[in-house]
Amino acid sequence: MTLINGKSKSSEHNPVPVVYTGNRITMTRKDLLLKVFLGGTAALVIPSTLTSCSKDETEEDNGSNNKVTIDLSDPSNATLLNPGGTKVIGGIIVANKGSDTYAALEKRCTHDGCTVVYELSTNTFPCPCHGSVFSATGTVLQGPAVLPLKVYPVTKSGNILTIG
């Protein structure tokens, strides 16, 4: 039952029990706790739901003005010495295509952001998540992706690869 200006009203017509006393509105303890609980739950659930749907933005992006150098004589880069070998550096996947040639592409599939891999036998960059396939020039060969991967120029001088 709710008191409004000293008169009682059924809570069927007013689902939130509120007592008006002069110019002040008073709420019951139960309603206050319910509102705090619902508000707190919403404050915790909504942000985590929204961030779980976003792409990972913590990786550094190699903007077009930045150049990356890779020393092939460094043991940490040994995978790039073998045809088919790859290394991910920041947001770029670098692949040894064989015959002393290299490709450097954006590592994130344009469909859903998964990291692509390199297939030497087909000279392609397939996405393991949903099956998109990209050529070594970034072109979409098979969807669901519709946008190409960004391609970075690669030059080799001695044991040093320069990307960008």
Distance, CA of 4 to CA of 127 (rounded, Å): 65
Q: Each residue's pLDDT tens digit in the chain (164 positions)? A: 445 555 555 445 555 555 556 666 677 888 878 888 777 777 777 765 554 443 443 334 444 457 889 999 999 999 999 999 999 998 999 999 999 899 999 999 999 889 999 999 999 999 999 999 999 999 999 989 999 999 999 999 999 999 98
Terminal C-alpha separation, the chain: 73
* Centroid of chain to Cα 5: 55
Residue with tokens 């709420």: 27
Contact 94, 154 (CB under 8 A): yes
Contact 132, 145 (CB under 8 A): yes
pTM (predicted TM-score): 0.60
Task: Kindly state the tokens that stand for 83.
Answer: 């045809």
pLDDT in the model for residue 37: 79
Distance, CA of 152 to CA of 63 (rounded, Å): 10
- Phi, psi angle pair for 49, to nearest 5°: -70, -45
